[in-house]
Amino acid sequence: MDIDWSKPIQTKTGCPARLLGEINGNQGNFVVAVSGEQGHEFLRQYYSNGRYYRGGVSVVDLENVPPPKRYMWQNLYPISFGDRYNSRELADKNAREDRIAVLKLEIVDGLAVSVEVEPM
């Protein structure tokens, strides 16, 4: 498991965390504030790979926060694709009469990585 300490982090259970610093001379150990219930933060020491325990796996191990999912909608016609829209409502509003389907695209880094056909 690789963690990029320059990007936002969270525990495996989704609790927000923030890097406070590295412990000098201690083989890449990091001090992290982990948010718990009711907004309390707990200081924890982590290894450079984001693990809480050296030899085991824990639900409090760290991971990078996944980027938010972004979706776009695109109308499909018998011989062409329509423009992409930021909402299903806009795709419906701008659809031509000959639309045969509307596609929901998951966008990552500007590219469609998955597609599903939505009911008309």
Most confident stretch, 24-33, 39-48, 50-59, 90-99: 90-99
Look at residue 105 in the predicted model and tell me its pLDDT: 96
The strands making up 80-85's β-sheet, listed across from edge to edge, are 80-85, 70-77, 101-108, 111-118
Question: Residue 19's beta-bridge partner residues?
Answer: 32
Where do the domains of the chain lie?
9-64, 70-118
55-104 residue pLDDT tens: 889 999 999 998 888 999 999 999 999 999 999 999 999 999 999 999 99
pTM of the entire predicted model: 0.64
Look at residue 1 in the predicted model and tell me its pLDDT: 58
φ, ψ for residue 90, nearest 5 deg: -65, -40
Look at residue 115 in the predicted model and tell me its pLDDT: 94
Spatial separation of the C-alpha atoms in residues 20 and 32, rounded to whole Å: 5
What's the average model confidence in pLDDT over 29-43?
89
The band of 2, judged by pLDDT with boundaries at 50, 70 and 90, is confident
The pLDDT mean for the chain works out to: 91
